[in-house]
Structure formats: C-alpha cells, structure tokens
Amino acid sequence: MTELNYACLKCGKCCFNLSFSSADYIKRIPLYPEEVDKLIEIAKKRQIPLKVKEDLVFPDILNKKILVLTYRFILDENGYCIFYDPKIGCTIHEIKPFACQAYPLAIKRIDAFNLEITIDSICNWVEEHHIKLKNIDLNKIKIIFSESFKKAEAFLRQNKKLQLHIRRMEVENKIKIARQISSEDFNRALKNWKRDEIRVS
Ligand code: SF4
Ligand code: SF4
C-alpha cells in the first residue's frame, strides 16, 4: 500500500475549470492577496490579462467593511488558468500559489476555524489510484504525497496564521465579524461596503 508514490501525470486537468455547475468561470483554488500581487506583476510583464474574484470574505460590522481573505482565478476563454501552457504546463511553477504547490492535496474546512489536509479527487493520478487511496489515514498521505504534503503543511500554517490574525484583531476590538447575518444583509454589505484585504506577511 505505502509503496504507492504520487507522480504528477502533467495532464493539466487541475489547471482547467471543472466546476461545471458554476455560472462563473472560476478556478477553485484560493489565492492570498500577497499571491495575487505577485501574479499581477508577472501577468503585467507578460502582458496577459489576469482576472481574479473575491473568494473568502467576512463582513466586519464594526467598520462596515468586507474583509477579503482570499481570491480565486477567473479562467481564460478556454477554461484554463492564464498561467497554463498546454505544451509545458504551469508557466509559473517556481512561484505558483500555495494551493497549486500542495495539489493534489488540498485544505478542507471542517468548520469556521478548523481545517484539515485532504486529497482532491479531481486529480487524474488520484482518480487512477482511488481504490488504494480510499479511507487512508494522514500518515499514509504523508508518505505517498511526500513533497505535496510539505507544501500542504505550509499552506495550512498560512491559513492558521491568517485565522489567528483575525482572532487577534477581534480580541483587540479592531474588527467585529458578523457570524450570524441574513443573506439579504450580507448581500447588501457585499454591494455597498468597502474592501479591506487581510494580510499576514
Ligand atoms: S498557477 Fe500553475 S498550477 Fe496553478 S492553476 Fe495556474 S497553471 Fe495550474
Ligand atoms: S490533475 Fe493531477 S496528475 Fe494531472 S496535472 Fe494536475 S496534479 Fe498532475
């Protein structure tokens, strides 16, 4: 079982839009504001259009602001990430976002403040080995996906840092996140309130 070793097939499936149910043409991976800054710079240099969309946001009712924690890619007209090249794959391999580095491992939200490392079933390699990967524990995930696991741990640490930062801001009464808000009020806030990106580095 543990002789199984993840090796990317370089098929590009994870750089393509797979959220068929979504009206928006967005990539599921989260991007931190700091990552978006870097990606904007690269896109500018290469003269390619980078578009992102807000992803994880919280309404701060103290300052009447929307706190933006992460963004998502808006894909090109063919449904691919704009940094994907069919001949060579990811063209920003060395500096790709945390979520792409960790893939096919992903961070799953258990509740508002708890996350865990999981395997993304959309990956072609994972799909090929899904029987062997079914119900495996974290120790085996660590062995099979050794490199991705290190990246996923870094990704998880970054997420935790972000959560701690938000908690600290709440304790210091700098912000107040509305945890129970009607969808009407939330949509109204999304429409009218200014944005504040949350950055931890
Ligand atoms: S940044 Fe690279 S790995 Fe991530 S979705 Fe885009 S092309 Fe794929
Ligand atoms: S879907 Fe899986 S195997 Fe294919 S390129 Fe992405 S990570 Fe590699």
153-165 pLDDT, tens digit per residue, is: 999 998 889 989 9
- For a substitution probing ligand 1, which of 84, 120, 123, 155 has the most ligand atoms within 8 Å of its CB? 84
- Protein residue with its CA nearest to atom 8 in ligand 1: 15
pLDDT at 2 over 70: no
Q: Which numbered atom of ligand 1 lies nearest the CA of 29? A: 5
The answer to whether 158 and 32 are in contact (CB under 8 A) is: yes
Over the chain, what is the mean pLDDT? 89
Q: How far apart are CA 197 and CA 34, in angstroms?
A: 9
Nearest atom in ligand 2 to 126's CA: 2
Split at pLDDT 50, 70, 90, the class of 23 is very low
Q: Which amino acid is at 6?
A: Y
Residue range 31-37: mean pLDDT, rounded: 95
**Ligand 2 centroid distance, CA of 158 (Å):** 23
What pLDDT, in 10s, does the model give residues 38-47? 999 999 999 9
Kindly tell me if the per-residue pLDDT of 190 is higher than 60.
yes
